[in-house]
C-alpha cells in the first residue's frame, strides 16, 4: 500500500456538500487529490442558464478553498447511450427504471473510473454514503454508517474490480457530521441544499420531462375486475403502489396503482393501502451482479431491499441460469416494482443485486404487475 | 516539478518593464486626464504618449485610436458602432465562421436586431477564400469583419487582399488583430483596414486594456455614453496605468519583433522535430507559411482532448484546446469544425500550444517530450 502522499485520488465532485467534504477529508489525510466535475446532461435553457454550470462554479470555489486542482469531463454521449436510452426503454416497457443504479454502473464507476485511471489516479473517490473495507483479501462494500443515507442500494452493481479502486471518504459519517465538517472548514457548499430526484430531471416536472421524449397515450383506469374508475394520462406516468394523481374520489379508502395492462393500455387500480393485489412473495431478478468474485453458487438466506430506504426483508435466494436468481420472501412485501433494483445484504455487507423482472404470489406470476 | 506555460495565446505574462512602468506611475500620476490642473495634465500627457505609440505601431494617426477595456470591447464597438451608424445604407454584414466569439456573438446580437450576417467558410488550412468573399459582397454590404489571424489554429487571413478588394466598395473593413498584433507587422494604410482591434494582455501587457483603430471619417455610434473621453466615442475616465503599461508592451513588442518571430519559428520546428523523433501519430494543422509563428495546433490520433489537457497540467504543462471555454462543455471548436467538418476526429483530439515571453528552447523540448510520453501512455491501453 502506497503512502497517501504518493497516492493520487480523483474525486468525482458534483458541487454538493457530500463530495466537497469527501475531497476535503482526503486532502486532510495527505492524499494527492484532484477534483473532477462530470457533466452528463445538458439542460441549458433558452437564456443559456444551465444548472451544471452553476454546480461547476461551486466545484471551482470548493477546490480552490481546499487547494486542489479541478477539471471537468463530459460524458453526455455515454450517459445518453447507456443510461438515458435504458431509462426510456424501460418506461416504454411499462416498468419503473432506476437510472441512478445504471449511472453508477456504466458512467461513474466505469467511464469516469477509466478517465481517472488515465489521469494516473490510484483511486476514484465519491461522496456516496457507503464504505469499503479490505477483509480476507477481498474488498467488501458495507452500508454507510448513516442508516438514513446509506446509498449501497444504488451501488449494488459494482464489481470487485470496481470496488477495489474506489474510496468513499464520508461513508463512516452521519450526514449532519458531514455538514458540520463543511461548515467548520468554511466550504462554500456547506449549506447548499441537497439535490433531489433523478439527476437529469432535477427539480423539473417529471411528467412534462418524460412527455418530451415518449408519447403519452391516455387510457382507461380499471379495477382488476374490469370496473372503469376513470382515465389515466399515459401508463409511463404511474408506478406500482402510487397513490397520488389518480383522481378517484368517492367514499372509503384511497386508491392505489396495482398494475398496468400494456396491451390494452389500461392502468389497474385497487382500493386501500394494504390492498391484497399489491403484495407479492417471490420474484425473479435479472442482471445479477455480486460484489465478490467468489460467490458460491448455492442457495442462501440473506436480507434484501426492493426499493431505496426500504427496511431490510428476510429472503432466500436461489440461483437460476442466465445470471438470474429467484428471491423468495419470508413475508409478503408490498409494491415490489419491475425495473427497480433488488439488493442483497449480509449484515452490514452489500452482496450485490439485480433488476426486478417478474413478480409472483402463491406460485403464480402476477401478470398485471408487468 | 517545473511548470511550463505554453498558452500565451490565451493570455501572457506581463513584461517586467511593463510592470515597472505601471508601478512607478501609480503613486505619482493619479490625476484625471480630463482635469485642467497639473495632475490632470500629467496624466493626459501619459495617455497622449501611449496613443502616439499605439498609432505609430500600425501606421495610423493619433486621432484614430480609441482605448477600450480590451479586445472584446473593441470588437463590439467596431461591429455594433458601424452597423448602427450605417444601417440606412444597408443591413448586410460579412464575417467568417472562424472569428473569435467576441465577433461571432456580437454578430448574433446584430442578427437578432435585423441585420443579415453572412459567415464565410474556410478551407482545410483555416483560411478564407477570396472568391467566397467576392461572391458574398453585395451593394448593401456595410461591413466586412475578418480576423487577422485565428486564435485557435493560428491561420493568417489574406488581409491585404481583402483591403484591396474593398477599396472599390463602400463597406467598412474591420479586422480583429488581437492574436496577430505584435508578431505580424501591420500597416493599416497599405492594407486598406478601416478598423482594427488589439488587446494588451496577449503581448505581455496588462489585462483590461486594448484599443480599436478607427480610420478617420468612419461613421460609428459610441456604445458607452458619458463624458467626452476618446472623442466621445468611448466615455469613461481613462485607465491611465494600464494605458501606460500597454504602450510599454507595444514598444517592447515592436523592438523585439523580428527576433521573437525567429525564436518562435525555431521553437515550433524543434517541437515538431521531437514529436517526429518520438514516432507518435500527429498532424499539424494549417500551412506553415500562413500560420502565426507562436501558435501550433496539433491533432494526436487516438487521444481525447479532455484527458490530454488534464494529463499535461498534472505534468506542469499549461496548454489548451483552443478558445478558453466552459469546462465540461462538449461544444467542439467552431474553428476546427469549419476546417474539417462536424464529424471529424480532429474536433476531439487537437491541442494548441502557443509560445511567448519567458519560454526557452529547453522548455519547449521538455513540453514536446512530455507530450509524446503522455500520448504514448494514453494510446497504449
In this predicted structure, which of A169-173, B83-87, B196-200, B221-225 has the lowest mean pLDDT? B221-225
Do B134 and B210 have their domain in common?
yes
pLDDT of residue B15: 98
- Reply yes or no on whether the pLDDT at B246 is more than 60: yes
- Reply yes or no on whether the pLDDT at B327 is more than 60: no
Mean pLDDT of A180-199: 90
In this predicted structure, which of A46-55, B236-245, B312-321 has the lowest mean pLDDT? A46-55
Helix H or strand E encompassing B81: helix B71-85
Mean pLDDT of B125-132: 98
pLDDT of residue A207: 87
CA angle B201, B121, B320 (to 5 degrees): 35
pLDDT of residue B380: 83
- Give the separation between CA A96 and CA A87, rounded to whole angstroms: 8
The architecture in CATH of the region A215-271 reads Roll (2.30)
- Reply yes or no on whether the pLDDT at B329 is more than 70: no
- Reply yes or no on whether the pLDDT at B325 is more than 60: no
Q: Which residues of B250-269 are buried (b: 16+ CB within 10 A; e: fewer)?
A: bbbbbeeeeebbebbeebbe
Do B138 and B28 have their domain in common?
yes
Q: A118 to chain B: nearest residue by CA?
A: B378
| Domain boundary, last residue among B255, B273, B290 | B255
Chain B positions with Cβ closer than 8 Å to A: 306-307, 309-311, 313-314, 326-330, 378, 381
- Reply yes or no on whether the pLDDT at B35 is more than 80: yes
CB A370 within 8 A of CB A262: yes
**Distances in Å between the alpha carbon of B2 and those of A234, B316, B317, B318?**
61, 6, 9, 11
- The residue whose grid cell reads 382488476 is A224
Query: Which one from A63, A199, A302, A350 is the annotated catalytic residue?
Result: A199
Three-class DSSP category at B140 = coil
Mean pLDDT of B107-132: 98
pLDDT of residue A195: 82
Tell me the percentage of chain A whose pLDDT exceeds 70: 98
- Mark yes or no for CB contact B327/A37 under 8 Å: yes
Of the pLDDT bands very low, low, confident and very high (cuts 50, 70, 90), residue B119 is: very high
Tell me the percentage of chain A whose pLDDT exceeds 90: 85
pLDDT of residue B328: 60
- What contacts A325, CB < 8 A, 6 or more positions away? A284, A285, A288, A317, A318, A319, A354
- Count the domains in chain B: 2
**Backbone angle region of A287, left / alpha / beta, with phi > 0 → left and psi within -120 to 50 → alpha:** left
Strand order in the sheet with B350-354: B282-284, B295-300, B350-354
- Give per-residue pLDDT as tens, A135-152: 999 999 999 999 999 999
pLDDT of residue B306: 86
Instruction: Give DSSP secondary structure letters for A130-189.
Output: EEEEEETTEEEEEE-SSTTT--GGGGTT--HHHHTTEE-TTTTS-HHHHHHHHHHTT-TT
Mean pLDDT of B265-280: 97
Entry pTM? 0.89
Q: Is residue A302 among the annotated active site residues?
A: no
Cell numbers representing residue B284 in the block: 499539424
Do B64 and B191 have their domain in common?
yes
CATH code of A276-369, in short, is 2.40.30.10
Do B288 and B198 have their domain in common?
no
Write the CATH number for B293.
Answer: 3.90.1150.10
- Reply yes or no on whether the pLDDT at A206 is more than 90: no
Q: Is residue B107 among the annotated active site residues?
A: no
- Give the separation between CA A86 and CA A60, rounded to whole angstroms: 32
CB B241 within 8 A of CB B22: yes
Helix H or strand E encompassing B312: helix B305-314
Which residues belong to CATH 2.40.30.10 in chain A?
A: 276-369
Question: Considering CB atoms only, which of A42, A76, A119 is closest to B307?
Answer: A119
Three-class DSSP category at A9 = strand
Do B195 and B301 have their domain in common?
no
Do B214 and B275 have their domain in common?
no
- Give the separation between CA B14 and CA B12, rounded to whole angstroms: 6
Do B40 and B179 have their domain in common?
yes
Annotated binding residue A16:
yes
- The residue whose grid cell reads 406500482 is A240
The architecture in CATH of the region A4-127+169-184 reads 3-Layer(aba) Sandwich (3.40)
Annotated binding residue A17:
yes
- Give per-residue pLDDT as tens, B76-110: 999 999 999 999 999 999 999 999 999 999 999 99
Pairing of strands A341-346, A300-305: antiparallel
Do B283 and B329 have their domain in common?
yes
- Reply yes or no on whether the pLDDT at A52 is more than 90: no
pLDDT of residue A199: 76
**Distances in Å between the alpha carbon of A49 and those of A44, A46, A336, A357?**
5, 7, 39, 39
- Give the separation between CA B294 and CA B268, rounded to whole angstroms: 7
* Residue of B314, B328, B370, B379 to mutate, testing the A interface (most A Cβ within 10 Å of its Cβ): B328
pLDDT of residue A38: 92
Do B196 and B282 have their domain in common?
no
**Distances in Å between the alpha carbon of B231 and those of A210, B68, B216?**
57, 13, 12
Cell numbers representing residue B123 in the block: 478551407
- Average pLDDT, rounded, for chain B: 95
Q: Which of residues 115-154 of A touch B (CB under 8 A)?
A: 115, 118-120
Write the CATH number for B210.
Answer: 3.40.640.10
- Average pLDDT, rounded, for chain A: 94
ipTM attached to this prediction: 0.82
User: How many CB pairs lie under 8 A apart between chains A and B?
Assistant: 45
Query: Which one from B26, B324, B325, B361 is the annotated catalytic residue?
Result: B325
Do B141 and B248 have their domain in common?
yes
- Reply yes or no on whether the pLDDT at A202 is more than 80: no
Domain that holds residue B288: 4-12+257-380
Q: B312 to chain A: nearest residue by CA?
A: A119
**Distances in Å between the alpha carbon of A70 and those of A60, A73, A92, A116, A225?**
7, 10, 39, 12, 59
Annotated binding residue A15:
yes
CB A125 within 8 A of CB A163: no
- Give the separation between CA A144 and CA A218, rounded to whole angstroms: 42
Distance from CA of A53 to the nearest CA of B (A): 8
* Residue of A119, A121, A122 to mutate, testing the B interface (most B Cβ within 10 Å of its Cβ): A119
| Domain boundary, last residue among B222, B255, B288 | B255
Q: What is the dihedral of CA A132, A325, A332, A153, to 10 degrees?
A: 20
- Reply yes or no on whether the pLDDT at B54 is more than 70: yes
- The residue whose grid cell reads 440606412 is B88
Residue from A110, A105, A84 nearest A157 by CA: A105
Phi, psi of B213 (to 5 degrees): -85, 130
| Domain boundary, last residue among B216, B234, B255 | B255
Do B307 and B229 have their domain in common?
no
Residue from A125, A203, A139 nearest A168 by CA: A125
Of the pLDDT bands very low, low, confident and very high (cuts 50, 70, 90), residue A248 is: confident
- Give the separation between CA A343 and CA A365, rounded to whole angstroms: 21
Distance from CA of A294 to the nearest CA of B (A): 27
Cell numbers representing residue B146 in the block: 475578418
- Give per-residue pLDDT as tens, A87-139: 999 999 999 999 999 999 999 999 999 999 999 999 999 999 999 999 999 99
Residue from B354, B370, B235 nearest B308 by CA: B370
pLDDT of residue A23: 98
Do B233 and B284 have their domain in common?
no
Helix H or strand E encompassing B311: helix B305-314
pLDDT of residue A197: 67
The distance from CA B279 to its chain's CA centroid, rounded to whole angstroms, is 33
- Mark yes or no for CB contact B330/A52 under 8 Å: no
Mean pLDDT of B347-368: 96
- What contacts A180, CB < 8 A, 6 or more positions away? none
Decide: residue B98, CB within 10 A, 0-12 exposed, 13-18 middle, 19+ buried. Answer: buried
Amino acid at each position: 500500500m502506497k503512502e497517501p502522499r504518493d497516492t493520487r485520488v480523483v474525486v468525482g465532485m458534483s458541487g454538493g456538500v457530500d463530495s466537497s467534504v469527501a475531497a476535503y477529508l482526503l486532502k486532510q489525510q495527505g492524499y494527492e487529490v484532484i477534483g473532477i466535475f462530470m457533466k452528463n446532461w445538458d439542460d441549458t435553457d433558452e437564456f443559456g442558464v444551465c444548472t451544471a454550470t452553476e454546480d461547476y462554479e461551486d466545484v471551482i470555489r470548493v477546490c480552490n478553498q481546499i487547494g486542489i486542482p479541478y477539471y471537468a469531463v463530459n460524458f453526455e454521449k455515454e450517459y445518453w447511450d447507456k443510461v438515458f436510452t435504458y431509462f426510456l426503454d424501460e418506461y416504454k416497457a411499462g416498468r419503473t427504471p432506476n437510472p441512478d443504479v445504471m449511472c453508477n454502473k456504466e458512467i461513474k464507476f466505469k467511464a469516469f473510473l477509466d478517465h481517472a485511471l488515465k489521469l494516473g489516479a490510484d483511486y476514484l473517490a465519491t461522496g456516496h454514503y457507503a464504505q469499503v473495507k479490505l477483509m480476507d483479501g477481498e474488498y467488501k462494500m458495507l452500508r454507510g454508517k448513516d442508516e438514513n443515507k446509506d446509498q449501497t442500494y444504488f451501488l449494488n452493481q459494482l464489481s470487485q474490480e470496481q470496488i477495489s479502486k474506489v474510496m468513499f471518504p464520508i461513508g463512516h459519517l452521519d450526514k449532519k457530521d458531514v455538514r458540520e465538517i463543511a461548515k467548520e472548514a468554511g466550504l462554500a457548499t456547506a449549506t447548499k441544499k441537497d439535490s433531489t430526484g433523478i439527476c437529469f430531471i432535477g427539480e423539473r416536472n417529471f411528467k412534462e420531462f418524460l412527455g418530451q421524449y415518449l408519447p403519452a397515450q391516455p387510457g382507461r383506469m380499471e379495477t382488476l375486475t374490469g370496473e372503469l374508475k376513470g382515465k389515466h394520462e399515459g401508463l409511463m406516468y404511474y408506478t406500482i403502489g402510487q397513490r397520488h394523481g389518480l383522481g378517484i374520489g368517492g367514499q372509503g379508502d384511497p386508491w392505489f396503482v396495482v398494475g398496468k395492462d400494456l396491451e390494452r393500455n389500461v392502468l389497474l387500480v385497487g382500493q386501500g393501502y394494504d390492498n391484497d393485489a399489491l403484495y407479492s412473495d417471490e420474484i425473479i431478478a435479472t442482471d445479477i451482479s455480486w460484489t465478490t468474485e467468489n460467490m458460491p453458487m448455492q442457495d442462501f438466506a440473506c436480507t434484501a431491499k426492493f426499493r431505496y430506504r426500504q427496511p431490510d426483508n428476510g429472503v432466500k435466494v436461489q440461483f437460476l441460469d442466465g445470471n438470474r436468481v429467484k428471491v423468495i420472501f419470508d413475508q409478503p412485501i408490498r409494491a415490489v416494482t419491475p425495473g427497480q433494483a433488488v439488493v442483497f445484504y449480509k449484515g452490514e455487507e452489500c452482496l450485490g443485486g439485480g433488476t426486478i423482472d417478474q413478480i409472483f404470489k402463491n406460485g403464480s406470476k402476477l401478470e398485471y404487475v408487468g | 516539478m517545473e511548470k511550463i506555460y505554453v498558452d500565451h495565446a490565451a493570455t501572457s505574462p506581463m513584461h517586467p518593464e511593463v510592470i515597472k512602468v505601471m508601478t512607478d506611475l501609480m503613486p505619482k500620476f493619479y490625476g484625471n486626464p480630463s482635469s485642467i490642473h497639473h495632475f490632470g495634465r500629467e496624466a493626459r500627457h501619459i495617455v497622449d504618449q501611449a496613443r502616439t505609440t499605439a498609432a505609430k505601431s500600425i501606421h495610423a494617426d493619433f486621432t484614430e485610436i480609441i482605448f477600450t477595456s480590451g479586445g472584446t470591447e473593441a470588437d463590439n464597438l467596431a461591429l455594433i458602432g458601424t452597423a448602427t451608424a450605417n444601417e440606412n445604407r444597408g443591413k448586410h454584414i460579412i464575417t467568417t465562421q472562424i472569428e473569435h466569439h467576441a465577433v461571432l456573438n456580437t454578430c448574433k446580437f446584430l442578427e437578432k436586431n435585423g441585420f443579415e450576417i453572412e459567415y464565410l467558410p474556410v478551407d482545410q488550412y483555416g483560411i478564407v477564400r477570396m472568391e467566397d468573399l467576392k461572391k458574398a459582397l453585395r451593394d448593401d454590404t456595410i461591413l466586412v469583419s475578418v480576423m487577422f489571424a485565428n486564435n485557435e489554429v493560428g491561420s493568417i487571413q489574406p488581409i491585404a487582399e481583402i483591403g484591396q478588394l474593398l477599396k472599390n466598395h463602400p463597406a467598412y473593413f474591420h479586422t480583429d488583430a488581437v492574436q496577430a498584433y505584435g508578431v505580424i507587422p501591420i500597416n493599416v494604410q497599405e492594407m486598406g483596414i478601416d478598423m482594427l482591434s488589439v488587446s494588451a494582455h496577449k503581448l505581455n501587457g496588462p489585462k483590461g486594456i486594448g484599443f480599436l483603430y478607427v480610420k478617420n471619417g468612419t461613421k460609428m455610434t459610441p456604445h458607452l455614453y458619458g463624458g467626452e473621453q476618446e472623442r466621445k466615442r468611448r466615455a469613461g475616465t481613462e485607465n491611465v496605468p494600464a494605458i501606460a503599461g500597454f504602450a510599454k508592451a507595444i514598444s517592447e513588442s515592436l523592438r523585439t519583433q523580428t527576433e521573437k518571430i525567429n525564436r518562435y519559428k525555431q521553437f515550433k520546428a524543434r517541437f515538431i522535430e521531437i514529436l517526429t523523433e518520438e514516432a507518435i501519430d500527429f498532424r499539424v494543422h494549417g500551412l506553415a507559411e500562413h500560420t502565426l509563428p507562436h501558435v501550433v495546433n496539433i491533432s494526436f490520433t487516438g487521444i481525447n482532448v479532455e484527458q490530454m489537457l488534464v494529463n499535461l497540467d498534472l505534468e506542469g504543462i499549461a496548454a489548451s484546446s483552443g478558445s478558453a471555454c466552459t469546462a465540461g462543455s462538449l461544444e467542439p471548436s467552431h474553428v476546427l469544425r469549419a476546417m474539417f467538418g462536424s464529424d471529424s476526429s480532429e474536433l476531439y483530439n487537437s491541442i494548441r500550444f502557443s509560445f511567448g515571453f519567458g519560454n526557452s528552447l529547453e522548455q519547449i523540448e521538455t513540453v514536446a517530450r512530455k507530450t509524446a510520453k503522455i500520448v504514448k501512455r494514453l494510446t497504449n491501453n
